[in-house]
Each structure stands twice: as structure tokens, then as C-alpha cells.
Chains A and B, each alone.
Chain A
Amino acid sequence: MRRARTWLPGLLLVTPSIVLIGVFVYGMLGWNFRVAMTDQHDAVSEGRFVGLENFVEIWDLPRWHLSVNHAIMFTIVFVLGALVLGWLLAFLMEKGIRGEGTFRAIYLFPMAISFVATGIVWRWLMNSGTGERAVGLNRLFDWIGLPQWQWFRDPDWGMAAMAIPAVWQMSGYVMALFLAGFRGVPEELREAARVDGCGEWGVYRHVVLPLLRPVTLSALIILGHISLKVFDLIVAVSGKQIITDVPAVFMWVAVFDSNDPAKGATIASYIVLSVAVFVIPYLIWSVRKERRS
């Protein structure tokens, strides 16, 4: 009875959220996997269990390959772009420039905007008209003498262009993460390095950067899972066109246009699994770290 007194109140307090998450997150996930393993390929049929058939067959679809390739290119450009730009901004801020608070707010503001609003503005900025019909960035490029291009309509590099608005939106957030990381490096360590004859670059290379590794990892995971699930930005910029197809858009079309719940659920499962590849090692790593300390 006495022991129960110590853990039971805590358990009771978290029970509602455990129940809610159990039903609405894990229950729904389970249901999704169940639908993905049936042949319910229209809105009315019941669907029989077919195992992993859908998961295998989807690799026969040319569109699936296309959307996976698009997602990979988007992820690489977005994650690297946001990390590099965010790091650079934080590095500049860290030098203690005047009006730092203002700059920080300016760089962080884009994060307050939804991807849909960002997408609508960038759709205009990245309009593919060239020459006399150019608007947005192409018009600007024309003025300053840079070559114009098709942006997100470019058949090969379109998804790299699509990642630009996402980089614009999220690099301020990465900056905030890194800035906190920079500030978390004790001044004594830097001074010790300087005393030992380290140049300013050496201090960063050998002292600050290694200490930023956990921040970098968190940023990588946050950006990575946003990137693999990206939907709203793509739909706001280009709608459900094949040229910018990603798994989440394909899933939407499969469910609402093709009326194929099993196919949609299969794609959703793949999205969850791909995000899990990012998140689970991170969880294991952070649990281990907690135990160690």
C-alpha cells in the first residue's frame, strides 16, 4: 500500500494521455498497417488479408519510384541547406553583433508562417516564365544578369528548387538551435584552447564543433522527419502534379482520387517507416545517454 502511494498518483495523472495517444496515434497506426495488408482497393469492398503483397507490388509502379526519388532529393537539399545556412547564421550572430535580438527575430519569423502560406508566395517567386514573361525570381535574375531557369518545373532538378522555400522557412529555427549550442560552450574551454596556442579557427574546429554534435543530430532529425512527410508545401506550390510528386501527395491521390484505401495505407506505412529510420536510432541514443549520466 505504501509503495502504491508513491507511483499510483503519477500513473493516474498520465493515464488520460496514455489512453488518447494509445487510441489516436498507435491505434490508428495499427489500423493503417492492417488496411495496408488487405486488398481493399475500392471504397466499398471489405478487403481480404494479403500480407505484404501491397508493399512489394508498389515498387512496380513508375510513379512510386519517381515520388521516392523526389523525396530523397528534397530531403538532401532541404536538410543540408537548412543545416549549413542555420549554422552560418548562428556563427555570425555568435560574434555578438549589434542589434542581435532584432536579427534573431527576423531570421526566426519565417517559422511562424505555415508551409501553405510560404508555398503560395514562393509559387509566384519561382514562376517558370522566362524572357519577357518572367516574374518573381526569374525577373530579378534577368535584371542582374543571372541565367533564368524553370525552378520547380525543371524535369531533373525541380525538387531541389522546391526545397528552397523549406530552407528559407526552417533555417532560422536551426539557427536558434545552434546559437543555443554555441552559447552552451563554456568560455573557459575556449580560453583554455587559446592559451594553449589555438587560433580562432582552431577553437571552432577542435572545441566548439565537437561540442555541437548533439545539437546537429537533433536538428538533423527534426528536419529529416519534416522533409519525409512534406505535403502542404508541395500542394501549395504545384498542386498534385506528377512533376513534383512525393509519397505524401501520392497517398492523398490514391485515397481521394483513385479511391484505393489499401494503396494509400501502404504509402502511409512507408512514410512512417522512413521517419522511424531517422527517429528510432535517435531515441535509442538519447535513452543510452540518459542512463550514462
Chain B
Amino acid sequence: MRRWLAAVSITMASVLALAACGGGGGGAGQPAQSPAASGGGKQQVEVFSWWTGPGEADGLQAMRKIFEEKNPNYTFFDAAVAGGSGDKAKALLQSKLQAGTPPDTFQGHAGAELQGYIKAGNLEDLTPLYDELKLKDVFPAQLIEQISVDGKIYSVPVNIHRSNVLWFNPSVLKDAGVAAAPKTIEEFIAALEKVKAKGKIPLSIGSEWTVTHLMESVLLGTLGADAYNALFKPGADWTGPQVTTALQNFAKIMEYVGDPQDDWQPAAKQVADGDAAFNIMGDWAYGYFHNPPEGGLGKTSKQDFDWAPSPGTEGTYLWLSDSFTLPKGAKNRDGAMAWLKVAASKEGQDAFNPLKGSIPARKDADQALYTDYLADALKDWSSDKLAGSIQHGVAVNQPWLAAINEAVGLYIGSKDVKALQQGLADAATANAQ
């Protein structure tokens, strides 16, 4: 009998424990547990980003200072998740959104990358905010056009990065007899050949995503801005002879790449160290080259490294941008709006960008704050045509990008240009809207 009792009681205890687990899980989802409730009168605004590295985290802190000065009744809650390009942050964000507990505002690449969130109904339309602050007058018209979805805008771009930058080592070029940075794809291939003859790495490369990054520059350099932008419109033709030529150029250039490095930094470092002549990487590489050790390599610009628009793309700014959004169901919607206003303001952008190593999306930035590479970038941004980056979420949405990365990854193994073009064409048909 005693054995019986013991068995029953243990069973009951376990069942109760199970029930308690279930109850606990439900409770955590309720807004009563939100951090906004605590803080003694001050309301918390949860800002979700992946800015934790040197430079970018400093920029975020500078914007936070302005936000807290302007909004004394809000406190800033930094919900940053480490990891370059937001890989890990995005996975966490996904689970937060699915659980119905979004942060008050989150970072995302402006453009098509946000489409998934928009389609799933996670984001609020920010067009009223744009009208209130007259943002359509201060952001370039092409930028507004490229981030609009069905005439609505869902995010506030804070900064602009450039993807089509050719970084090079001036002394390696001199040794190889290359007089200046190549301006066309043909010149580029000729220069790569000269460097190869000298026994240096002609073009350094990192992991597979940096190959997609290289490909977008070659596509733009071969097709020109208009034909490139047309590739991302519904019904675009990826099977045509122009794209074939572009991909053949890409294949030719890929013959000159060095051994793949672990990521973009070691690839960029090969240029800074004089092992390699060229590297095509976004302008975040500038901070890596230029910043003092710990955060960067402490190199001297124009002497240890130099830059030019990637071959064939002069006059076009292949852009990407970090932006902030307003998720539906944000606990502190007013606080999030206050943050978006700071992020959109001239003051906020001028505080953030010089530290992050990017230029502001606004046209009316204080030019004196941007020196060296950033001065060039700012000048080009105001005059160049715009084209959206593939790898960094402007031109294509996430599933489309995954399909493109797959086609490029398979190409690296097979070297089959025809299969690459077919893969890209299939990716476009499956994902273009």
C-alpha cells in the first residue's frame, strides 16, 4: 500500500510541475513583465541592434546621449546582440516577433530585406512620420523610391554605406607597373594579370558571402546602373546576353582571387600588409584599415591603402543602409517614435556616422565632420546615381539572397557560368515581386 501511495504522489508531483512549467511560459509573454513597467516613473525604450563592435557601438552611444537629453522621461535600453551583419541578431529577433514580444524598435537593412517582416505584418507604416518631419525633402529622392514598398515607407535610414569600393595597395600596384586604379573591367583584368606576374595575390577574397559581394560590383560595373536596377523589377530578364557577359567577366576575375580567407577582415588585411593588390569590399573596411589597433590596423590612408569606385561603377553609389523600424505591438510606441525622430534628425545622424565610419542618409549633413574617405563618399552620395546592394539587403529580400548565395556557392565549386546564370535566373523568378 505504501508503494502505491508513493507512486501516486510522485506522479501527481510531476504532473503539477509540468503544469507549472506551462503556466510560467505563458506568464512571461504578458506585458506585465515588460521592462517598461519598472524604472521608477521613467519609461524604458528597448532598442534592438547588432552594433557592438568598435566604432559602431560608440556611434550608438552618441545617439543615445542625444535621445536621453531630448527625452528626459525615457531611458534607453540597449538590446544589442553581437555578430557581424546581424546573423545572430536576426534569428533572435525572429523568435521575439513570433512570440509577440517585439522590441520597441529594431535595426534592419533598409530596402527589400524588410519585406519579409512587412509581409508578415510585423511593421507599422512610417509614412506619417516622414510627412510630419518632412523627411522626403531631406533624404535623396532615389533613396525614398528604393525603400518604398507600395508607396509606403517602413523604416528610417540612419546611415549609408557603399558596397562598390575597390581597395588597393599603392606600392604593390607601383611594383607591378599599374599606374592608377583601373576604371573599367578590362583595365581591371589587365591590372590583375600584371600583379599575378609579380607573384602577389591579385585580388584577395574572404568567405563565400564576400564572393557575392564581389559579384554585385562586377554586375553593376558591366551592366551600368539602369540595367542593374532593372534586374530587381518584376519580370526582369536574368537570362539575357548582358548578364551572360557580366558573369563571364565575374568568372574571369575569379581566376585571379587568392586563397579564400575566413572573413572579410583577413582578406582586407592582405591588401594592407602588401600581400595582395586589390580587394572589393564595402566602405566599412575604411574603419578597419584606418582605426588604431584593437579596432583596426592603424594604416595611413593614401599611403598604405587607397580606394576608388570598383571598376566600371564610377558615378554610381551601390548603397546599403542601416535603418530603424517600428514593430506592431511595441510596448512603448511613443518612446520608439521619439527614438526614430532622433535617428532621423541631422543632429542624431551627425553624431552617429563619423564614429561608425559611414555617411548620413540626409543631404544636409555637416560636411566638416566627414574627412578623408568619408569626404569622398559624401561628395559621391550627393551626385551619384543610386543602385541597391544585393548582399546587404537593399535590392533583394532574404529568401532571394539565400538563393543567390546558394548559386554563387555552387559556382565556386563547379566554375560553371551557365549553371550560375540559370541559378540566378531561377532565384529571380521564384522571389521577385
Q: Provide the residues of chain A in CB contact with B259, threshold 8 Å.
A: 128-130, 133, 150, 153
Interface centre among A10, A15, A243, A257 (most CB of B within 10 A): A257
Q: Is the CB of A12 within 8 A of B11?
A: yes
Task: Indicate with 1 or 0, residue by residue over A37-72, a CB within 8 angstroms of chain B CB atoms.
Answer: 000001110000000000000000011001000000
B254 touches A (CB below 8 Å): no
Contacts of B7 in A (CB 8 A): 8-10, 12-13
Question: Chain A: residues with CB nearer than 8 A to chain B?
Answer: 5, 8-10, 12-13, 15-16, 19-20, 42-44, 62-63, 66, 123, 127-130, 133, 150, 153, 155, 238-239, 241-243, 245, 253, 256-260
Once bound together, how far apart are the Cα atoms of A241 and B398, in whole Å? 16
* B262: chain A residues within 8 A (beta carbon): 123, 127
Contact with A along B323-366 (1 / 0, CB 8 A): 00000000000000000000000000000000000000000000
Q: Is there an interface contact between B11 and A13, defined as CB atoms closer than 8 Å?
A: yes
Q: List B contacts of A127 (CB < 8 A).
A: 262
What are the residues of chain B within 8 A of A66 when measuring CB–CB?
Answer: 410, 413
For A258, what are the chain B residues with a Cβ–Cβ distance below 8 Å?
Answer: 398-399, 402-403
Q: What's the Cα separation between A12 and B13 when bound, in Å? A: 11
Interface string of B193-235 (1 = CB under 8 A from A): 0000000000000011000000000000000000000000000
Residues of chain B lying within 8 A (CB to CB) of residue A155: 413
Instruction: List chain B residues, Cβ under 8 A from A245.
Output: 409
Contact of A259 among B6, B398, B410 (CB under 8 A): B398
Bound-state Cα–Cα, A79 to B363, Å = 61
A residues within 8 A CB of B398?
257-259
A128 CA to B4 CA in the complex, in Å? 65
The answer to whether B207 touches A16 (Cβ under 8 A) is no
Please give the distance in Å from A107's CB to the nearest CB on chain B.
30
Assess the B399–A259 pair: CB atoms within 8 A: yes
Which secondary structure dominates chain B's binding surface? helix
Report the contact-size class of chain B (Cβ under 8 Å from the partner): 35 or more
Query: Bound state CA distance, A33 and B14, in angstroms?
Result: 29
Q: List 13 A-B contacts (CB under 8 A).
A: A12-B11, A15-B11, A16-B11, A20-B18, A44-B119, A63-B409, A128-B259, A153-B259, A153-B260, A243-B412, A245-B409, A253-B406, A259-B398
B 6-27 contacts with A by CB, 8 A: 6-8, 10-11, 14-15, 18
CB distance from A171 to the nearest CB of B (A): 27
A245 → chain B closest CB, angstroms: 7
User: Which chain A residue lies CB-closest to B1?
Assistant: A5
Tell whether B38 is near chain A: CB-to-CB under 8 Å. no
Q: Does B141 contact A (CB under 8 A)?
A: no
B18 nearest CB neighbor, chain A only = A16
Q: Mark B380-424, 1 if CB is under 8 A from A, else 0.
A: 000000000000000000110111011001101100000100000
